[in-house]
Amino acid sequence: MTVKQIAGKQIAFDEEGFMTDPNAWDKDIAGVLAKEVGLDELTEAHWKVIEFTRADFQTQGEAPGLRRITKVGGVPTKQLYELFPKGPAKKIARIAGLKKPTGCI
């Protein structure tokens, strides 16, 4: 486990770089985490996906995978790859302050 100072908070991460406590997350932290995965700016379209992911986590108890985000969240796969290139489900979960989705390699 690693602890980093982000947006004035001590945030714990697992060995793969995912937050260990989703309740410690906020939008300021999301902005920093987005930059760490190569996204300089989070647009309204990014936030729509991130907010769906966090809401789905609240009801399902785990971060949604790519298929669930496309089917239930209503965001086409092509758009997810445009917004979050190279591994969108993992990047979304990381930015949303959640653990790595099950089924992700």
Active site residues: 104
- How is residue 5 annotated by DSSP? E
HEC assignment per residue over 37-103 = CCCCCCCHHHHHHHHHHHHHHHHHCCCCCHHHHHHCCCCCHHHHHHHCCCCHHHHHHHHCCCCCCCC
Q: How many other CB atoms sit within 10 Å of the CB of residue 16?
A: 10
Which two structure tokens, joined as six digits, stand for 21? Answer: 């406590």
Distance of CA 22 to the CA centre of its chain: 10
